[in-house]
A = this chain, B = another copy of it.
Amino acid sequence: MNMTTNTLVNSKLVCVALNDKAQLAALESTFNEAPYKKPPTQPVLYYKPRNTWNLNGAEIEWAKDFDGNDVPAMVVGASLGVVIGKETCRVSVDEALDYVAGYTIVGDFSLPEESYYRPDIKGKCLDGSAPVGPEIVAADKIANPDALSVCINVNGEQKSVFELANMERSVAELISIISRIMTLQPGEIIAVGFAGERVAVAKGDKVEASIEGVGTLTNTLGGA
């Protein structure tokens, strides 16, 4: 792997799963089965650890299986990335946005997810699978982060549009809740929500994730 030491992420990249209302609705019958018999009552979080952090423009390695062979399929999602500006511990929803330094885009290349129960470390922690960028746009440039849309284009063709108005929990709600679970530090990033339907990608594909006013994060899949 190429260890990228100079990324936009400082210390922690937390992603929020299952924050797309349409996805939650589609999974409702699954959630009502064992073992939970109800939908999640709290945000479901996962980490993209340091070995995943990457940059705008980087080539994303095609993943390999246990034996070192290329995996048959990969998918991508993209999220607004909320960059924390100061130590954030147990803040209210009303004050939460005051703790934001700026916004960026987080890409999440992964293996297709097979279940929503056990933490999917194998699928989510691929080396270099979380490009973040192209830059951090200052918070005061974005009037309402929940009004943004995240678009994914593959080889120039639009594959996914996710309006953040369709998030189960807003940016401010997430910051408030997460800050009661763990203290957040400046430079840490929360990827607040992905469209439930991930986009299939192939070797050599050019993936562009765009948010108006935040920019376009461009990466190419390796392995072609």
Q: Which residues of A are in contact with B by a Cβ distance under 8 Å?
A: 1, 3, 11-12, 14, 33-36, 40, 42, 44-47, 49-52, 64, 66, 68, 87, 89-90, 115, 117-119, 121-122, 125-127, 177, 180-185
Contact = CB atoms under 8 A, between A and B. Distances in A.
19 contacts: A3-B183, A12-B49, A12-B50, A14-B49, A34-B35, A35-B115, A44-B119, A44-B121, A46-B119, A47-B47, A49-B182, A51-B183, A68-B180, A118-B119, A119-B119, A121-B181, A125-B182, A127-B182, A127-B183
Given A1-B89, A33-B34, A34-B34, A118 B181 contact: no
Contacts of A40: 118
A32 B36 CA distance: 15
Contacts of A50: 11-12, 185
A2 B64 CA distance: 40
A36 B116 CA distance: 11
Contacts of A11: 50
Contact of A117 (B36, B51, B177): B36
A46 to B, nearest CB: 6
A83 to B, nearest CB: 16
Contacts of A12: 49-51
